[in-house]
Each structure stands twice: as C-alpha cells, then as structure tokens.
Structure 1
C-alpha cells in the first residue's frame, strides 16, 4: 500500500471518528494473519487482538486536541495511560491497545486500533530513526460474520497539519503490512 493511500486512510479514520456516533463497550476478539516481508522472504504471522473498550467521540476529540496542541510526544504519553485491549502474536505478550474504534461503512464494519508501540532497550539506546515512530496502527474491515482483511503499520508517527487542519499518519520503513484471514475468536 502506498504511503499516500495509507495517509489518506489515517486521515479518513480520524475524520470519521470525529463524526457523531455511539461507542458501545463490549469485548470482541479476533485472529488474523499478517503477511510480513523480511530479508529471508515473506512470512505469515498469526495475530490475536481483543478489544475491551471502544473509544467515544469525546475520547477521540480529546486525543486529537492533545496532538494538535502539544504534539506527538504528549499524545504518546496519554496513550500509554489508556487500555482498550491487547494485540499479540502467538507466544508473545504483545502490546496494549490504547484506542479502539469502529464504524459502519455500508455493510462492512471498520475497526481501527492504535497503540504506543513497545521499543526494545537496544532500539532506545541507539536512538535511531525508528524511535521517532512510536505508534502502531491496525485497521481491519469485516463483514457481518466478522471476517475480512486489513493493514498493519508496526511503526508510525502522527502529526497535525495546521494548513490542512488534518492529522497525518506516516509509516516507518516499508509502510503497511497486509492483514488477511481476519476472523472472530469464539
């Protein structure tokens, strides 16, 4: 997926999240396959994610205001305090989901999750470029059976564009990883 399309998706997510709708708090668990690419070739990784709390319109507006007024570091600090569920690979404790939201797009449901990503001690010590990308983003689109596809950005940064009055999500590295075989866990 191109960076332009990913940016468009992120802006659309944030714009739609500001539209009026009611968020219901209920647990939802899914499994999915991420199609990763590395130096040894393509690999499939199973993901599990459980959403325990849905963000309200007020939550999203508050987080948007933090980013707009104080920047990404303040937003990450706030996201670290939030717990909307968990995303993990098999055999790994995973990452806490800070914000989860969903909305209807025709007959499909779009679920978006954002977390402050875990960084290794080595990554933090080296203070490489990747430390400027402290967020992870997963978005899936599912049908009425809870099955579908999506995209995962393992490292991203978000900025506020004053000129366009929009938020921009910029992925680090290769961009979005395709996510397939999204299914509800029973």
Structure 2
C-alpha cells in the first residue's frame, strides 16, 4: 500500500493523490477484510446533506422561518408516521418493486412484510440497498423530510404524518386482535 501511495505521489498529483491513498488505506483498514462500501456510504451521506442544505437554502430564499417550537403532538405524530412510512418503504410486500434493483428476496417477514438481502453489485447500489431495507436507517431521512415539510407545508405534512400514524395504530390493533383471537382459541 505504501509503495502504491509513493508511486501515485510521484506522478505529479501530490497532495490530492496522497490524500486519496491515505483515505483508501484508512478504508481498507476499517473494512478488516469485509466488503463494506464506504464510498457508497459517503455518497448517500452527501446526498442527504445536499438535500438538507438545499431545503435550508430554499427556506432562506423564500423567507420561511423555523417554527418557534415544535408541539409535543407534532413530535408524536411525526414519530409514529415516520415509523410506519419507514416500514412501508423498507419491508412491505407491495413496495418490493421499488427495492428490487437493490435487493434480493429471501423470504417472508412479519405480517405483510418480506425479508430481503442487499445486492453487492457496486458500492453505491449496495449502500442504497442497505438504506432502503433498514427501517431504522430510513427513519433519519423520513423524519427529516417531515421536519422540512413542517417548514414549507405544515398542513399537508401533518395530514400525511397523521395518515401514517393512523396506519401505525391500525397495525397494532390488528396484532392485538390476532393475539386475543389466538388466546381465545388456545
């Protein structure tokens, strides 16, 4: 690795090449022999940061102000809505076609859910696959989207969050009903 860095540095690119070689060496050390697409993760994080920065710039351009405070009701609404929307995107059978380019079907999951593995065709494809199959990973994106929505379109955002919150409640009622039915039969 050191020889490669020295060869690249001697090619006239100097600091940029030396920095790239150092970053590659750090990534290789981190991977510890595993296939971890750090470059893909960097790209996904950069897209997220660009979207947030773009929303902040647009808010400033449009003279949109952040809310003075966020009501507890909004936090609860967004939390439950984020939970359901992230599970819908990452696990629902019907949304599988959205994930198919990045995942492979592995089996059934919970009620109306599937289990999928991430394809490792490329660093970016793998990173996107990890993001869209992980409800915890999607939560950051979705909650941020709801937060941005509260700045630009609070009424629509609350309606969408309330819809997904109602679905969350409905899911828990279905599960409670099924458990009660099983208890009554068994």
Q: TM-score, normalised by structure 1?
A: 0.22
Who wins on radius of gyration, i.e. which is larger?
A: 2
Q: TM-score, normalised by structure 2?
A: 0.22
Greater strand content: 1
Greater helix content: 2
